[in-house]
Every structure is written in C-alpha cells, then in structure tokens.
Amino acid sequence: MARGKFIVGTNFKMNGSRAFLQDLVENLNRADLDSNVEIFISPPSVHINHVRQNLRKDIAVGGQNCFWKSSGAYTGEISAEMLKDAGAEYVILGHTERRTLFKESDSHIGLKVASALAAGLKVIACIGETLSERESNTTLQVLFRQLQAIVDHIQDLNQEEKWKDVVIAYEPVWAIGTGRVATPKQAQEVHAAIRRRVEETVEGSVAEGMRIIYGGSVNLGNARQLAREKDVDGLFVGGASLKPEFVEICNVLR
C-alpha cells in the first residue's frame, strides 16, 4: 500500500460562526498552497455543507464526530452517511475530548471507525496518552489498547481497501491546547512504534502505507521540525488552524 501525500488537517472544534468560516474559506481559496500536501478542514457539522460549497475543491472537508448507526431514534446524533451527504470526505474519531467529556470508550470508537469506513468516509483516528500515563511509562500500552479496538472492529472489511482510508493521529493529551508540544524525537519514537504495532497486528504493507500524523500544540514555530521526522506523515492542527498562520503550516514542506 503506497503512502499518500503528507497531510495537514484541522480540528476547529466547537468554533466558528458561518461568517467567520466564510472569511477563513476565502483566505484559503486565495492562498498559494503546496500541491504535494493534502489538506482537510473540519468545521462544526452544521457548517459542513456551506463550507463544502464555497471552498476550493483541492481541500477536503471533514466532520468532527459521527454515530455508528446509519439512521434511527438517536436524538442529536449524526451518522457517517449524513456527513458524507453534506459533503464531508473525512471524519475525526476518538479525539480525547470525545473520550473524556462524552465518555466514548475504545469500543465506541471502534464501532464509529467501522461505520465511517463503510459509509465511504476517510477516518482520522485519534489516539493519545495522558501526562500521568506518559510519566508512568505506559504510553505505548495505552496507545496500543486504543489502536487494537480499531483493528478489532474493522477486521471484517477488506484489509488494504479499508486501511488506505485510515489516518492515525497521535495526539498526546498533555500536548492538546496546552502549548506544550511533543519534541520531534518524542513524536518520531511513538510514530515508529505505532507503525511497528500495525505491522505486527495487521500487515506489513498496511503499516508501510499508513499515514501517522502528529497533533498537539502544532504551530508555525514547531511544524517544520516535526514534519522532518521520518514517520511523521502529517500534522493535525487545532488552535493554530483558526489563525492566518495555518496557510504557512500547510506549506511546511516547501
């Protein structure tokens, strides 16, 4: 499985009015962007359709969550099919805010990943350890447990077909929104370990082709160094994605 382009994605979280997003879209539409980088932005779901209709077509749009059922009596939920219908190509699943604030378990996330892939969405599957887990040397144990739930839930689908649509986002919880970014060495070590784990539990060609991106306090000041690491196949940007510097982060390989 060939590894895709370097990928830069956003997590806007619960931010952005329609007017704010329209400005952001116009800014991206005007920008000179590196065609060697794949970019996606993820507005709140109510704005996906508007953003998709107004954004240049070489940037993908993603949702920030979905439920694992296609339709039915699930008040307030949105299915993967609905995201796709609204124009989304990606969905972010397993973000730490979903895991902690909304009590999503590893197995909920596995179910969501499977349903999103079945609906034809590409998945940004987030995994990450807390500070106390890192300090007690259980980082890999935690990441592998989170990863295994995804592997278990999608094992029935065709191996290469489904994995080409999965991007793993390593997002250390202690780095999210804190200004405390992982060092390039820390990110590289973890990404390489995740790749080895995928090789052991799924398949070598899947591991080789899989894109593993880093998220957690990425900004213009640290993006370039992170992007140089061999197993860092992209960047996942929260706070800085709402600022004009996002365009420069997208062009980090230049």
Q: Using CB under 6 A, list all residues that contact ligand PEP.
A: 11, 95, 171, 176-177, 215-218, 236-239
Q: Which residue has the tokens 């820390």?
A: 186
The tokens for 167 are: 């991007």
Question: Which candidate in 95, 108, 153, 191 is catalytic?
Answer: 95
189 classed as catalytic? no
Which is closer to ligand PEP, CB of 162 or CB of 188? 188
Answer whether 117's CB lies under 8 Å from 153's CB. Answer: no
Minimum distance from residue 130 beta carbon to ligand PEP (Å): 14
Question: Which candidate in 81, 104, 171, 229 is catalytic?
Answer: 171
Find all residues with CB under 8 Å of 9, minimum gap 6, and list them. Answer: 39, 40, 41, 42, 62, 90, 92, 124, 167, 169, 213, 234, 235, 236, 237
199 classed as catalytic? no
Answer whether 91's CB lies under 8 Å from 64's CB. Answer: yes
Minimum distance from residue 75 beta carbon to ligand PEP (Å): 26
- Comparing every residue's Cβ against ligand PEP, the nearest one is 238
Answer whether 80's CB lies under 8 Å from 66's CB. Answer: yes
Which is closer to ligand PEP, CB of 125 or CB of 206? 125
Which is closer to ligand PEP, CB of 62 or CB of 239? 239
Which are the catalytic amino acids? Answer: 95, 171
